[in-house]
Amino acid sequence: MTELVLSLLAAVLAITLHEAAHGYAALALGDDTAKSLGRLSLNPLRHVDRFGTIILPIGLLVFQLFTLGHVAFMFGWAKPVPVSAWRFRYPRQGMAIVAAAGPAMNFFLAWAAALALQAMPEVPLWVQCYFLDNLNQTDRCMLLAFGDPVEAAEYFSNFVYFFMMSNLVLGLFNLLPIPPLDGGRIVVGLLPESLAMAWARLERAGIVMVMLLVFLLPQALREFGIAFDPVGSALSRLLPAGFRLILLAAGHVADG
């Protein structure tokens, strides 16, 4: 139950600040649409999407806790912050910058959380897990790292882990180059105009493509003994390396 509460809180904060970053980036580029509609806020309730912020993250958390015993993957979304791209001097490039602000915020938050661990008197065991020579052993090590917290420091340490996990997964996942994910909008801003317009048209079906690629198709093929999960496989490789990189950037070292 403790892991569920900490994970949910971490995910809501990561998603909320991700969306707020889009709004602040748009404002910096001259678009005050989000501000005028009351969406330029750090209040999580302003950004809640009933399914993407509540139902899906809780479902993923419960499923993983009952099947894996720990949280290995998080995903969700908030109500998109409204942006009026026509207010930017260069609309496509402006939207790319606004889109990039979300993942950039998530990576910054993960790094800031890792910095906060420096205040702890002892290095948490889960931090040491990410400095194993063989990153494939990380999951096995993590099973030993989480017990029932008995002290405030352990609650704090576990929350930092879930907060870093939520931000890394959200940031990396949103960099997939499929509209309406942030990565797709970044690609639209970088491509020549003709190609950009064609890529932007994927946005209408983009979320369906994401759901099929990430959730439905891998699960359906698994029932027939076919291992096809490109996004999950990529994240399983990138997350341990991402954790290690951010911990190193925050001043943590292998010997604790």
Query: What are the CB-based long-range contacts (under 8 Å, 24+) for 139-148?
Result: 139/72, 142/70, 143/69, 143/70, 146/3, 146/70, 148/2
Answer whether 208's CB lies under 8 Å from 215's CB: no
**Is 19 marked active-site?**
yes
CA 156 to chain centre: 20
| Identity at 5, one-letter amino acid code | V
CA distances from 187 to 13, 33, 198 (A): 27, 23, 11
Q: Which of 3, 19, 154, 223 is catalytic?
A: 19
Question: CB within 8 A of 256, min separation 6: which ones?
Answer: 122, 123, 127, 128
Catalytic residue IDs: 19
